[in-house]
Each structure stands twice: as C-alpha cells, then as structure tokens.
Amino acid sequence: MIRTALLIAPLSCLLAAPLAAEPGLPPVESVQRALDEHPSVMAAHARLEAAKARADALRKGSAEFTVQGSYTRRDVNGGNQFNEYDAQLSRPVRLPGKARIDRDIGLYGTDVAANVAEDAKHEAALLLAAYWFDWLSASAQANIDQAAVSNYEAAVAAVIRRRSLRDASQLDVDRAEAALADARRSLAQSSGLATLARTRLEAQFPALALPVDAPEVPRPDMVDARLSQLGDLVVLNSHMIAAAEAESARTTAMASRAQADRIADPTVGLRVFSEFGGLERGAGVVISMPLGGGYRRALASEASAGASAARAQEQLARFDVSETAEADVTEARFRIITWQRGRESVEAQMAALEKLRRGHQLGEIDLADLLLGEQMVHAAFRIEGEARAEAMRAIAKLRIDAHDLWLGD
C-alpha cells in the first residue's frame, strides 16, 4: 500500500488560516538594508548628490572675475625710456531673468535625480522579489518531490514484502521501482533549481539575511477591491511619472534659457593704465558683448525641440505606468483564480486516491492504477504549488509597484 500522509501534510497547511502579517516574505529591516546597499541604488543616490551640486552651481552662475594686465618698457629714439602698464578687472553679468531660469533648471534637475533614485530602489525591490519567489517556488517543489519520494520508497518496500509472501509479482515491484526512480529524478531537478535560485539571490543581494530553509509560500488571499485599490496607487505613487514631469519642466526651462541667450550676457570691467612713465594715466569702464546670430538661434531651436520631446516622453511615461498598473491587477486576478482551481484539483485528486487505496485493499484495483493515482496526486500538488507561488509573486509585484511593500514615500 502506498502511504499519502506526507503529501496530505502540505495540503493541510495550505487549507489552514493565513499566517501573520507579511507571511512568506523576508523581514522588512533586512530588505531595506539589502536595497540600500544594492549598487544600482547607491549609484542613483550618488547621481542625486551630483545633481544637487549642479543645481548649486547653476544658482551661483558661471560668471567669474577675470584679471588682465600688461607691462611694457618703451624706448624713444633720442629720448628717454618709459615704463607703461595697464590692468583690467572684468566679470560677465547675467541679464535679468536668466538667474531665475538657472535656479529653476537646477531645482528641476534635482527633482529628476531624486525620482530616478527612488525608481532605482523600486527596480531593485522588483528584482529582489523575483529572485525571492524563484527560491520559494523551487523549494516548495522540492518539498513536494521529497514527500513523493518518501511515499514511493514505502510503496516499494511494501510491494517487496508482498512479493515475498507471494501476494505480488515481480512486475509490481518493477512498476513501483520505476515510479520511485522518476520521483527521485524530479527531486534532483527541483532541489538543484532551489539551490540555484538561492545562489542567485545571495549573489545579487548579499546583505539580505536568508533563513536556512525557504519559508512556505502563503496562500494568495486578497480581495478584488484591494487589487483595484493597489492598481490606482501604482499610478498615483509612480516615480517614473514624477521623473518625466520634472524632466519635461527642466527641458522647458532650458528652452527658455536658450531663448534668453539669444541676447548674450555683457562683460563689464574696470581698466586702469599708465603710459609715458606716468605722465599719462587713466581709468575707465569697459563693456564687451557678443552679437548673437544664427548659432544662438539654432541652439534655441534645438532646446525647444528637446522640450517638445520631453513632453512627449512624459505622456509616454503615463501610458507605460497605466499599462503596468492594469497588467499588474489583471495578472494578480487570474493568478489567484488559477491557484484556486489548482487547489480544487488537489482536493479532487486526493479524494480519488483514497478510493483507489480502498479498492486496492479489497483487491479490486491493481497496483498500476494505484501508482497512476499517486502520480496524478503528485502532479496536482506540483501544479498547485507553482500556481500558489506565481499568484504570490504577482501580488508582491503589484504591491511593490503601488509602493505598498518595502517602499515608502
């Protein structure tokens, strides 16, 4: 007789009440540390600091004082020698309105970098969740396969005992051993995939503290109204849209700056000089100003086109985020339904297996039919386990995109 207790145990856990908050997920503190220490997040925050420095530079402006001077010694034929010199101190002056535009460009640039930094953390969280559920899913499959191997090992031992009592044939033994070999093959594959998934998770997020054994995948229990609410939050909390809006505002300000630059900034300075050994001295104000032409006009046109492109990219970002929100909700819904159907299949297969067991005990069902029933139960558990993991993966992605999990504004 083939025992099914080990396969029934996972189902009893599955039908139990949901666990405490955030079941099947790593501790929040550990996740935050792993995300903050991920290179992509660290690089994005470094670029944010660079944007702040750039904004400070724009606020102060690039105009600097320039010192210029010369010294000469003049000889006059038949006359004296004279020392002569001149010195000049000058500085460009931003025309009215340009300083304000420069400050706006810096502020918008900082907003872009800040939102990109938050979006980098968002992407890192999605990557962590993907690797995490790869590990949980593969580990769950390995546990199911291990239970099946234990059942088939007991079955082989029971059939061998029955053969010794001349109550089973060698063919029955061969069939049971074939089923055991196939179960061991499945276990070797699922165990290897679980080890591979853990290795990838540890390599990508070394700061994440992993338990010795993967936690059980919880049941995907979330009402439809909550899914819809999370879908709305995906758009509301999107840093991609916020970054695109800030970039659009920045390029618009840059276009205004380029248009203002068609009238160049003047350079104002003070000049002093001494000629003929001091017999002639003077001081005055000097002004220089480039006369704008086609070059500055072309730069203004380029900046205006760039602003138009940024506005289009902003609209595209809204499209992309709306698509993500709708796709997240849709996938979560059908993944949950798929898991529910898989759960029903497990219950039906278990009921059928119990009937096969009773029939086999009464001699009405042969071993081949019973082994087939065991294989169908094993397959049903594997399908249900995979569907459960995929449903939880979809829910986790939706929650991360909505900033309801691991991310907070």
* Enclosing H/E stretch for 90: strand 81-92
* Enclosing H/E stretch for 309: helix 294-361
Sheet with 267-275, strands from edge to edge, namely 66-75, 81-92, 267-275, 280-288
| β 81-92/280-288 pair status | unpaired
Over the stretch 92-129, which tens digit does the pLDDT of each residue have?
Answer: 998 899 999 999 999 999 999 999 999 999 999 999 99
The backbone torsions φ and ψ at residue 81, rounded to the nearest 5 degrees and listed phi first, read -105, 140
At residue 355, the pLDDT reads 85
Over the stretch 242-251, which tens digit does the pLDDT of each residue have?
Answer: 999 999 999 9
Q: What b/e readout covers 104-132, taking b as 16+ CB neighbours within 10 angstroms?
A: bbbbbbbbbbbbbbbbbbbbbbebbbebb
Mean pLDDT for 166-172 is 72
Please state, as a whole number, how many other Cβ atoms lie within 10 Å of the Cβ of residue 190: 22
Mean pLDDT for 206-224 is 90
Mean pLDDT for 64-77 is 85
CA-CA distance, 381 to 144, in Å (whole number)?
7
At residue 76, the pLDDT reads 74
pLDDT band at 8 (very low <50, low <70, confident <90, very high): very low
The DSSP symbol for 386 reads: H
Over the stretch 123-168, which tens digit does the pLDDT of each residue have?
Answer: 999 999 999 999 999 999 999 999 889 888 887 787 787 777 676 6
Count of CA atoms in the C-beta half-sphere (13 A) of 162: 18
CA-CA distance, 150 to 274, in Å (whole number)?
105
The DSSP symbol for 214 reads: P
Does residue 18 surpass a pLDDT of 60?
no
pLDDT band at 83 (very low <50, low <70, confident <90, very high): confident
The backbone torsions φ and ψ at residue 90, rounded to the nearest 5 degrees and listed phi first, read -135, 160
Question: Mind giving me the DSSP string for 250-299?
Answer: HHHHHHHHHHHTTSPPPEEEEEEEEEGGGTEEEEEEEEE-----HHHHHH
CA-CA distance, 221 to 332, in Å (whole number)?
11
pLDDT band at 391 (very low <50, low <70, confident <90, very high): very high
Please state, as a whole number, how many other Cβ atoms lie within 10 Å of the Cβ of residue 342: 20
At residue 20, the pLDDT reads 37
pLDDT band at 383 (very low <50, low <70, confident <90, very high): very high
pLDDT band at 409 (very low <50, low <70, confident <90, very high): low
Mean pLDDT for 174-201 is 90
At residue 167, the pLDDT reads 65
Structure tokens at 369: 């039919």
Amino acid at 354: E
Coil, helix or strand for 196? helix
Coil, helix or strand for 315? helix
At residue 39, the pLDDT reads 95
Does residue 299 surpass a pLDDT of 70?
yes
CA-CA distance, 221 to 381, in Å (whole number)?
19
At residue 362, the pLDDT reads 73
Coil, helix or strand for 85? strand
Class of residue 146 by CB neighbours under 10 A (exposed 0-12, middle 13-18, buried 19+): middle
pLDDT band at 14 (very low <50, low <70, confident <90, very high): very low
Coil, helix or strand for 45? helix
Minimum mean pLDDT range among 27-36, 233-242, 285-294, 318-327: 285-294
141 or 21, which is more confident?
A: 141
CA-CA distance, 220 to 226, in Å (whole number)?
13
Q: What is the overall mean pLDDT for the chain?
A: 87
CA-CA distance, 272 to 92, in Å (whole number)?
18
Over the stretch 303-361, which tens digit does the pLDDT of each residue have?
Answer: 999 999 999 999 999 999 999 999 999 999 999 999 999 999 988 988 888 888 788 77
At residue 208, the pLDDT reads 92
